[in-house]
Amino acid sequence: MAPFDLVALFGTTGSYLVYVAIGFAFGFILESSGFGDSRLLAAQFYFRELRVLKVMFTAITVAMILIFWSIALGWLDYDEIWVKPTYLWPGIAGGLIMGVGFILGGYCPGTSLVSVATLKLDGAFFLLGIIAGVTLFGETAGLISTFWNSGYLGIFTLPELLHLETGVVVLLVVCLALVMFAGFEWIRQKIYGKAQ
Amino acid sequence: MSAPAEKAKYWNPYLGGVLLGLLLFLSFFVTSHGLGASGGVHRIAVAIEDLVIPEHVDKTPYIARMAGGDRDPLAHWLVWEVAGIMLGGFVSGLLRGRVKLQTYRGPQITPRTRWAYAFIGGALMGYGARLARGCTSGQALSGGAVMSVGSWAFMFAVFAGGYGLAWFVRRLWQPES
């Protein structure tokens, strides 16, 4: 049953090649979707371009359906895939800081890599900023370790939170995505008119 | 200057989203991990630090886990995924004629201003991503798809932060009105 032990199958070097291949596809899709261009990414926050929302939520929905379908069919073991444990407060604080970084800097870490790969100078300064930011965190993590470990809930999932069947939650997420696509598109047209 | 002709060359966002979703599923299915980016960049940053000041790295607990003593911070799947992302982005850009030295910026600011804000934004992004234990890829996309509550809270926080500040910094991105 999936997932597989790549190191046992292909050796360490072979497993790295699998990750290079996955990264390659990831970078290719990001660049092809326009995510190497900070103007298109930032435009999300002015409702001028909705690519970030559309790509992200379509991807999450599609992946979620396939993952939980495979689990239901007994092909994939949920206990063996890597689900990040929830640390609620540092997650929310980090998210807010990243939202601010996103609107000031125009990228997120993954998209800035694609931007640098296509020789965008703003992407290069952003990536240098990331290196400064992660280094600062690494140096000062000890000072905030209480906060960094606060709100710990372990592996805690939406079906557990909502007391609903997994299948129902998948359906709700699909509905949420569709409502957001329609709602954001409606706002965009209110502000900028029909044409795009 | 996003002329319509230039925009048309990008994929339909729903097509990009479906392909990204398939890739995200395949990544979990085959490797047990979702997608990631900031963790790999962090390991590269630590590798550089380890070259310059190895004794200091050994004494700093958070980074000693990655590079203390004989540990190689680059011997990790995320580092190879980052290399793949750059390669894939480069090939995609090359095929579409978008590999070009330039600065993307809003119409009201100079390249220099753009670079300064890009650096500040990147620094916040890097710090925030470590605080949150993942970025848009590792938390929002990957954790979101496997229904982690923390990842969903994180995702809404990112949008809240971005939308909360957008109006105040609109001069950075919006055309003159």
Nearest to B131 among A90, A119, A155 (CB): A90
Would the CB atoms of A108 and B125 count as touching at under 8 Å? yes
The contacts of residue B147 (CB under 8 Å, 6+ apart) are: A64, A157, A158, A159, A166, A169
Nearest to B121 among A12, A101, A160 (CB): A101
Residue A33 covered by a domain = yes
The contacts of residue A108 (CB under 8 Å, 6+ apart) are: A41, A98, A102, B37, B125, B135, B136, B137
Rounded distance between C-alpha atoms, residue B142 and residue B29, angstroms: 12
Query: Final residue of a domain: which of B48, B67, B101?
Result: B101
Name residue B99's amino acid.
Answer: V
Query: Final residue of a domain: which of B101, B117, B144?
Result: B101
Give the residue from B7, B74, B119 with the most A CB atoms within 10 Å of its CB, the best one to mutate.
Answer: B119
Task: Give average pLDDT by consecutive 10-residue segment, chain B, 177 residues.
Answer: 55 98 97 94 94 93 90 95 98 96 97 98 97 93 97 97 97 91
B76 and B135 part of one domain:
no
Asked if B93 and A34 count as a contact pair (C-beta separation under 8 A), the reply is no
Nearest to B140 among A56, A85, A119 (CB): A56
Provide the pLDDT for residue B3: 46
Q: Mind listing the pLDDT tens digit for each residue in A99-144?
A: 999 999 999 999 999 999 999 999 999 999 999 999 999 999 999 9
Range of the domain at B7: 1-32
Query: Final residue of a domain: which of B51, B77, B101?
Result: B101
Q: Which residue of B has its CA nearest to A15?
A: B77
B22 and B38 part of one domain:
no
Residue A1 covered by a domain = no
B116 and B132 part of one domain:
yes
Per the structure, how many domains does chain A have?
Answer: 1
Would the CB atoms of A59 and B150 count as touching at under 8 Å? no
B38 and B19 part of one domain:
no
Provide the pLDDT for residue A195: 65
pTM, rounded to two decimals: 0.95
Per the structure, how many domains does chain B have?
Answer: 3
The contacts of residue B74 (CB under 8 Å, 6+ apart) are: B43, B44, B47
Range of the domain at A132: 6-192
Provide the pLDDT for residue A1: 79
B39 and B22 part of one domain:
no
